[in-house]
Amino acid sequence: MVLDVNEPQVWVLIGVFATAIFGMIGIVTTSFNRTLTTTVSDLREAIEARFETMDARFEAMDAKFSGKFEILDCDIQSLSCHLFGADPR
Q: Is the pLDDT at 88 greater than 60, yes or no?
A: no
pLDDT digits (tens, 9 = 90+) for 4-15: 778 888 889 999
pLDDT digits (tens, 9 = 90+) for 21-46: 999 999 999 999 999 999 999 999 99
| DSSP structure class, residue 7 | S
Give whole-number Cα distances, 7 to 3, 15, 37, 68, in Å: 7, 13, 45, 92
| 72: helix, strand or coil | helix
What dihedral do alpha carbons 69, 75, 80, 83 form, nearest 10°? -160
Rounded distance, CA 82 to CA 65, Å?
Answer: 25
